[in-house]
Amino acid sequence: MQFLLYRLQPYHRNFNKRLVKSPKLYFYDTGIACSLLGIREENQVNLHYLKGGLFENLILNEFIKRSFHLGENRLPYFWQDNHGKEIDCLLVNGERITPVEIKSGKTMSTSYFDNLQYWRQLTAVSENQGYAVYGGEQSMQAGAGSFISWRELERIPD
């Protein structure tokens, strides 16, 4: 099981709020996750109730692979408070924290930045540029952050 699953640890430094401190489990191979869910064909994913979770798993895996390819061993974190506000992914590099929301939808929505704005209000992080990775094809800057196509993850600093 050591190379099938990994734990994504919660980020809970420097907060005065009650936070979720339990890790989340993800698969290193989303194909195995799909197989265990009975998903055999690509079109089944789009109709599956766990489509968002599978997409999140895929994107997290890409960040982990990038870290390993750079010769680093940094897993991303997630952040969640006891009210259910959550940031799907925090890329931590020294003092720099890059928040990333992950959404499987193919269209951009400014609501993707709602939790990022909430998180920014709680932190004194100097690097507060937020990103929303989504299932669409175009990347662009928005007022509250940047929409990043799932095909262009290299646009997000590590």
Who wins on pLDDT, 52 or 19? 52
Kindly list the domain boundaries of the chain, sorted by start residue. 5-155
Nearest in space to 103 (alpha carbons), one of 90, 123, 89, 83: 89
CB 155 within 8 A of CB 139: yes
Helices (H), 48-123: 51-69, 114-122
Query: Which residue shows structure tokens 């895996």?
Result: 61
In the chain, pLDDT over 90 holds for what percent of residues?
Answer: 65
Enter the pTM of the model.
Answer: 0.91
Q: How far apart are CA 104 and CA 126, in angstroms?
A: 28
**CATH code given to domain 5-155:** 3.40.1350
Which pLDDT value is given to residue 140?
95
Q: How far apart are CA 79 and CA 108, in angstroms?
A: 22
pLDDT digits (tens, 9 = 90+) for 73-102: 788 999 998 888 999 999 998 888 899 999
Q: What is the arithmetic mean of pLDDT over 109-132? A: 82
